[in-house]
């Protein structure tokens, strides 16, 4: 019998399903202190948790632990790196809470638009303040959905019945998928300028922390509403506080830095705030519990690991190739433009890498979206692309080309409804050092993809490198390395320049104009 600990208030269906299987003994204690429970049951095979913190100390107390299932999508409360070190797989149940959060967004919008929170106690006091609580209708208004993953797409579907005009921002979702759900894709500044309501559905990480700042908030319409049911850190609280009164903004909030009792720093600026109720429905709780039990049984019985988020590198695969797959995809993304809507991802794995093609998909998708972990199971990564309306093809490789142990990543995206853009990057690992060997038609580059890199594609002619170097020098930017091959016809060249620090956008634009570049890009590359 495998012992499973459930130290949380989770629907009993998880316990029922596991015990009905006949292979599990379940210990469920809703108010148990997790470390104390672990110490009482050191023979536990698995943990099923919600928001409980799973620390190294807890894992050390469970020497037979094989799996941790987070009944939900986020896993920031679990030390996944330490879990990997202990050979413990961490799984999530993505999508279980999506409808609950989407409906909460609608509930917050309507409650605020019709002043229901204030009107109820007023009416109970015997008051009759109809004019004071004059509301507004959401029909006909414009809503901007930031992040079109599981939840963002459901928000759009739920609000379709209100006849709202829907804008969306997501650098991965395809034009075709956006059209299916009735969303007009725009860039982030445009979304903030045009929307009456803005709802956030993005993760919090290094790229998104504080992304809703003074610049974007300053673009909002007077009287517009910001809804945050995502993560507290994506909104710059100080900037919102500074602009709220001037712009007469409404702020509806369900997320905080910590899920715990006590004063909340946004209390003075939140027009409605609730204690992280997004996933708190009976249906969501039951679905998360059901999926957690099913995933654990499939994991034990069939070895299925579709939503493991901390896989170990398989035997026979050098981890440097994981970094290579991730880095090539990031570079290719920079080539087609980070705002270009993806349509197709294609890969080629050569030599001894071919057997690991599925395994290497997740780091590639992770480079394209911060909603995917590079250690995710390939089925989860592929499902994400499908949900975003992006096609994927792993091509057959020609062993006679001599690209031993190389990876090629191609991306196709849509600039608009009528124009596609394509980019291709190939690389390999030499003496454990990542190398980019080709970008589009420019071959034999052999440059290490790390640090600050700028690329300029231009009509081949003398003097261009001097112009680039001179412009960088004026900004006190030093060139560390440079590659300058021609295309096969000798018509165009690429200047691939590694520099010692960030190149400002204005300088990149200035250089591109000066040399009449056909295309240009800048990216900071580092493994993670």
CA pair distance 425, 141, nearest whole angstrom: 43
Would you state the structure tokens that stand for residue 298, as one six-digit string?
């499939």
DSSP 278: T
Q: What is the pLDDT of residue 402?
A: 67
- How crowded is the C-beta side of 164, counted as CA atoms within 13 Å? 27
Q: Which domains occur in the chain, in start order?
A: 2-95+283-302 (3.40.50.720), 98-273 (3.40.50.720), 319-525 (3.30.70.260)
Contact partners, residue 422, CB within 8 Å, separation at least 6: 336, 410, 411, 412, 413
| 324 within 8 A of 409, measured Cβ to Cβ | no
CA pair distance 98, 284, nearest whole angstrom: 8
- The pLDDT tens digits for 411-441 are 999 877 678 999 999 999 998 899 999 999 9
Beta carbons within 10 angstroms of residue 163's beta carbon: 10
The pLDDT > 70 percentage for the chain reads 99
CA pair distance 58, 247, nearest whole angstrom: 48
CA pair distance 449, 455, nearest whole angstrom: 12
Phi/psi class of residue 425: alpha, beta or left (left: φ > 0; alpha: ψ in -120 to 50)?
A: beta
CA pair distance 311, 87, nearest whole angstrom: 9
Burial of 34-68, coded b for 16+ CB within 10 Å and e otherwise, reads bbebbeebeebbbbbbbebebeeebbebbeebbbb
Q: What is the pLDDT of residue 446?
A: 93
The pLDDT > 90 percentage for the chain reads 83
| 69 within 8 A of 89, measured Cβ to Cβ | no
- The pLDDT tens digits for 473-527 are 999 999 999 999 998 888 999 999 999 999 999 999 999 999 999 999 999 997 6
Q: What is the pLDDT of residue 528?
A: 55
List of long-range contacts for 356-363, beta carbons under 8 Å, 24+ apart: 356/314, 356/316, 356/317, 356/321, 357/394, 359/311, 359/314, 359/317, 360/321, 360/322, 360/325, 360/407, 361/392, 361/394, 362/311, 363/322, 363/323, 363/325, 363/326, 363/329
Handedness of CA 16, 19, 20, 23 (dihedral sign): positive
- The pLDDT tens digits for 69-100 are 999 887 888 999 999 999 999 999 988 899 99
> What is the DSSP code string of 385-431?
HHHTT-EEEE----GGG--TTEEEEEEEEEEETTEEEEEEEEEEEET
β-strands 451-459, 519-525: how paired?
antiparallel
pLDDT over 80 (residue 303):
yes
CA pair distance 430, 448, nearest whole angstrom: 10
SS3 453: strand
CA pair distance 332, 340, nearest whole angstrom: 12
CA pair distance 165, 184, nearest whole angstrom: 8
- List residues bridging with 70 in a β-sheet: 49, 92
Angle 270-275-278 from CA coordinates, rounded to 5° = 100
| 305 within 8 A of 82, measured Cβ to Cβ | no
What is the model's pTM? 0.88
CA of 251: how far to CAs of 165, 394, 402, in Å? 20, 45, 58
Question: Which pLDDT band holds residue 205 (cuts at 50, 70, 90)?
Answer: confident
Identify which of 272, 228, 263 has the alpha carbon closest to the alpha carbon of residue 120: 272
Please state the rounded mean pLDDT for residues 299-317: 85
- The pLDDT tens digits for 372-384 are 888 888 888 999 9
- The pLDDT tens digits for 318-335 are 999 999 999 999 999 999
CA pair distance 208, 316, nearest whole angstrom: 35
* Average pLDDT score over the chain: 93
Q: 22-26, 44-48, 306-310 — which is least confidently predicted?
A: 306-310
Q: Which residue has the tokens 């060249």?
A: 493
- The pLDDT tens digits for 174-184 are 999 999 999 99
pLDDT over 70 (residue 139):
yes
- The pLDDT tens digits for 277-293 are 998 999 999 999 999 99
| 175 within 8 A of 185, measured Cβ to Cβ | yes
């Amino acid at each position: 019998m495998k012992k499973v600990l459930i130290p949380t208030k989770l629907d009993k269906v998880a316990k029922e399903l596991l015990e009905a299987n006949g292979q599990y003994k379940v210990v469920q204690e809703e108010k148990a202190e997790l470390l104390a429970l672990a110490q009482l049951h050191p023979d536990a095979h698995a943990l099923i948790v919600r928001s409980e913190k799973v620390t190294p100390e807890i894992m050390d107390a469970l020497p037979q632990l094989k799996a941790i299932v987070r009944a939900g999508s986020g896993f920031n409360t679990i030390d996944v790196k330490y879990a990997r070190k202990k050979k413990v797989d961490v799984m999530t149940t993505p999508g279980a809470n999506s409808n609950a959060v989407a409906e909460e967004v609608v509930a917050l919008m309507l409650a605020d638009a019709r002043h229901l929170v204030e009107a109820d106690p007023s009416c109970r006091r015997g008051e009759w303040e109809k004019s004071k609580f004059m509301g507004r209708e959401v029909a006909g208004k414009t809503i901007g959905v930031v992040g079109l993953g599981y939840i963002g797409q459901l928000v759009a579907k739920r609000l379709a019945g209100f006849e709202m005009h829907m804008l969306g921002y997501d650098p991965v979702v395809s034009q075709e998928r956006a059209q299916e759900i009735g969303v007009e894709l725009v860039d982030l500044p445009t979304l903030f300028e045009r929307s009456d309501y803005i709802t956030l559905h993005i993760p919090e990480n290094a790229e998104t922390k504080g992304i809703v700042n003074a610049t974007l908030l300053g673009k909002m319409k007077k009287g517009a509403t910001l809804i945050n049911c995502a993560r507290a850190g994506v909104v710059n609280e100080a900037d919102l506080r500074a602009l709220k009164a001037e712009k007469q903004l409404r702020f509806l909030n369900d997320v905080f830095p910590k899920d715990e009792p006590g004063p909340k720093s946004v209390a003075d600026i939140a027009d409605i705030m609730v204690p992280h109720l997004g996933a708190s429905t009976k249906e969501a709780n039951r679905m998360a519990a059901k999926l957690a039990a099913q995933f654990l049984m499939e994991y034990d019985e069939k070895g299925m690991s579709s939503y493991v988020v901390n896989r170990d590198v398989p035997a026979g695969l050098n981890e440097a190739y994981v970094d290579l797959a991730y880095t090539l995809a990031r570079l290719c993304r920079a080539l087609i433009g980070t705002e270009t809507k993806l349509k197709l991802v294609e890969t080629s794995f050569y030599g001894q890498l071919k057997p690991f093609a599925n395994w290497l998909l997740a780091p590639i998708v992770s480079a394209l979206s911060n909603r995917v972990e590079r250690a995710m199971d390939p089925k989860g990564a592929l499902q994400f692309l499908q949900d975003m309306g992006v096609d994927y093809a792993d091509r057959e490789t020609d062993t006679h080309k001599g690209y031993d142990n190389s990876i090629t990543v191609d991306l196709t995206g849509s600039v608009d409804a009528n124009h596609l853009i394509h980019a291709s990057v190939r690389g390999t690992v030499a003496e454990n050092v990542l190398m980019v060997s080709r970008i589009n038609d420019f071959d034999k580059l052999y440059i290490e993809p790390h640090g600050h890199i700028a690329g300029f594609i231009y009509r081949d002619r003398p003097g261009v490198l001097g112009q680039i170097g001179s412009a960088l020098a004026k900004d006190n930017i030093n060139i560390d390395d440079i590659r300058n091959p021609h295309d096969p016809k000798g018509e165009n060249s690429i200047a691939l320049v590694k520099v010692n620090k960030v190149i400002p956008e204005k300088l990149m634009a200035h250089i591109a104009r000066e040399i009449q570049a056909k295309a240009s890009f800048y990216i900071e590359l580092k493994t993670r």
